[in-house]
Amino acid sequence: MEIFLQQVVSGLATGGIYGSVALALVMIYQATDVVNFAQGEMAMFSTYLAWSMLNAGVPYWAAFFATLAVAFVCGVVIERVVIRPVENAPVLTIVIVCIGLLVILNSVAGWIYSYIQKPFPSPFPEKPITIGNVFFGAHDLGALGVTLLVLLFLYVFFRYTTLGLAMRAAAQNPVSSRLCGIRVGWMLALGWGLAALVGAVAGLMIAPIVFLDPTMMSGILIYAFASATLGGFTSPGGAVLGGLLVGVIENLVGTYVKFIGTELKLTVALAMILVVLLVRPSGLFGRVAVHRV
Amino acid sequence: MSRGPEWRQALVLAAIAAACALPFLLSNFRLFQFTQVGIYAIALLGLNILTGYNGQISLGHGAFYALGAYTTAIMIDRWSVPYGWTIPVAGLLCLVAGFLFGIPALRLEGLYLALATFALALAVPQILKYFEHWTGGSQGIVLSKPGAPLGLRLSPDQWLYFVTLGVLILLFGLGANLLRGRTGRAIVAVRDNPIAAQAMGVNSALYKSLTFGVSAAYTGVAGALSALAIAFVAPDAFNVFLSITFLVGIVIGGLASISGAIFGGLFVQFVPNWAQEISKAAPWAIYGIFLIVFMYAMPRGIVGALRLAGARLARFRG
């Protein structure tokens, strides 16, 4: 029972991180119908920026918020400079541009910081927290808390602010929004900025677990795809829930089903997603697209 | 073969003649690279039939490529089957596998299909390593390059080049025929408007899964040829990036075009090498910049740009 609880909590912690990256993907997808393959690498790059700041002696939380600010600005700039020129091109063309962005960020990070793994500090104490006779990693709980805070912030932002409403409107119906005086182009850029920010939080929280190196996010991105698919690409809440589900299931399957172990863990996760998609083709919480004939 | 305008026939014949002359002009290594271009072109045509003409996005064609490659490798290594027979077997096996995968894929649209096939591509290296008894695990299977038959005075690289070229011409001819006729129109109609297509009596489900099968068969044949050309198969060669490379190839070459597959093959084979020559430190950054600049300049791929230029030229003359 103790092992079960521990595995569930640590699954929730990594699942929260998958969920945040999935949320970042969903935010961009809903606004532009594009799956941003570079999302993971953007987060990885932000984490390296934080590492540089920490190495220069900046205190953790100052570096944390500075990184988020830089990530936000970079996200906006990337949308304006890289994505905007192909805005009206076919979707696959934009996907290829995102793939180009992915290899550039990955390669430049490797060039500047080398491909050697670096340890990354956690802001939370190392001593595990004991509740009853169950041990929980402090970083697991902390990461889960930070992730939930970010999600709450986003929820409040999109639900209760005018800017959030404008952004949702721009994503849902660009033409009418433009007629209402919303600057749709800038709303998209802001969406990219927010997605980059959420991704940066995920990067900062996962780096102490998986260590920092230029490929650290590729695995996470794959799980984020899985989470978003499971939850439904049209449902932000579903993406987060999908992330938590994937994290927990991944941990439990790895612990209890012996013949699968760690080698086939990913395959099992993917197989489950295929099964879910076959039963519910738009994910668990996705809206089924209705076509007018 | 092709019944297009005369200049187009002449162009195709000239290209074939040039391709036949290459082995006698280039070093064995360069020639090997062109063999790779041919192999990529076959795989890209396969993916283009599915994604470009039929509108089903697949990020998992690396899986069929791997299936083709391993079919050839296992047949030669285990049962000493002559290599020539392994290529059609690989194609048939992938046809069946693609058709079967195409049936559940019917339920998925656009992005969900792309991600489901992406899952397939991701799982391949792990699955190949798991069935160690057949696949040799991470060590892979080492083959020997087949030599030229009948005492032809060709090096193995030259012979493989001609085999690849022959298969390429055959498959491109078949593909062009398939896409030009009634079947091709049905495939495109299913992409453009499935409901109207069904109203016209096109069995949309059957066409979609059949297209998946044919597409997988092309890619499987390409995989089989690659196993012969490289004389080695190992799980890590068939990672996700292979599937992404295929997607890059068809978009760069031009969606829904047959010649686009050749341009795409040239791009994915040679541009990474050039990037390497330009910058040893960060070659993939250069590659990424190439990709982005290419997409800015030609959002509809190389063939799209050529068509546009042709149309402008015609208007200028007329």
What is the full per-residue pLDDT of chain B (318 aa) written as tens digits?
A: 444 578 888 888 888 888 888 888 888 888 889 999 999 999 999 999 999 899 888 888 999 999 999 999 999 888 888 888 899 999 999 999 999 988 888 878 777 888 888 888 888 888 888 888 788 877 888 887 787 787 777 888 888 899 999 999 999 999 999 998 898 999 999 888 888 888 888 888 899 999 999 999 999 999 999 999 988 888 888 888 898 899 999 999 988 888 899 999 999 999 888 888 888 878 888 888 888 988 888 888 899 898 888 888 888 876
Residue B285: closest CA among chain A residues belongs to which residue? Answer: A104
Distance between CA atoms of residues B217 and B64, nearest Å: 8
Characterize the bridge pairing of strands A134-136 and A129-131.
antiparallel
Q: Phi/psi at A136 (nearest 5 deg)?
A: -120, 135
Residue B228 lies in a domain: yes
Q: Which residues on B lie below 8 Å from A267 (Cβ)? A: 122-123, 126-127
Q: List C-alpha distances in Å: B231 to A140, B32, B73, B242, B250.
A: 47, 12, 8, 18, 26
What are the beta bridge partners of residue B141? B233
Domains held by chain B: number: 1
Q: Which residues on B lie below 8 Å from A233 (Cβ)? A: 111-112
CB contact under 8 A, A107 and B285: yes
Q: How close B106 gets to chain A, by Cα (Å)?
A: 9
CB contact under 8 A, A277 and B112: yes
Residue B194 lies in a domain: yes
Token pair listed for B36: 């790779």
Q: How close B103 gets to chain A, by Cα (Å)?
A: 10
Distance between CA atoms of residues B86 and B84, nearest Å: 6
* Structure confidence by residue, pLDDT tens digits, A47-92: 999 999 999 989 999 999 999 999 999 999 999 999 888 888 888 8
CB contact under 8 A, A271 and B287: no
User: Which residue positions in chain A have pLDDT lower than 70?
Assistant: 258-265, 269, 289-293
CB contact under 8 A, B292 and A110: no
- Contact B268/B283 with Cβ under 8 angstroms? no
3-state secondary structure of A122: coil
CA neighbor of B262 nearest in space, from B9, B2, B19, B3: B19
Distance between CA atoms of residues B10 and A33, nearest Å: 42
Q: Which residues on B lie below 8 Å from A283 (Cβ)? A: 112
Which pLDDT value is given to residue B2? Answer: 44
CB contact under 8 A, A96 and B248: yes
Q: Which residues on A lie below 8 Å from B108 (Cβ)? A: 277, 281
At B65, the amino acid letter reads Y
For chain A, say whether B195 makes contact (Cβ under 8 Å). Answer: yes
Which pLDDT value is given to residue B11? Answer: 86
Q: List C-alpha distances in Å: B193 to A91, A195, A288, B81, B197.
A: 18, 34, 18, 45, 6
pTM of the full structure: 0.85
Boundaries of domain holding B181: 6-317
Which pLDDT value is given to residue B1? Answer: 41
- Contact B18/B25 with Cβ under 8 angstroms? no
CB contact under 8 A, B282 and A95: no
Of A96, A103, A222, the CB nearest to B122: A222
Residue B1 lies in a domain: no
DSSP state of B232: E
Distance between CA atoms of residues A90 and A79, nearest Å: 16
- How many C-beta atoms surround the C-beta of residue A175 within 10 A? 7
Provide ipTM, 2 decimals: 0.83
Q: How close B3 gets to chain A, by Cα (Å)?
A: 30
Which of A107, A272, A282, A285 is the mutation pick for testing B, counting most B CBs within 10 A? A107
CATH number of the domain bearing residue B57: 1.10.3470
Which of A93, A233, A265, A275 is the mutation pick for testing B, counting most B CBs within 10 A? A93
Locate the domains of chain A by residue range: 2-215
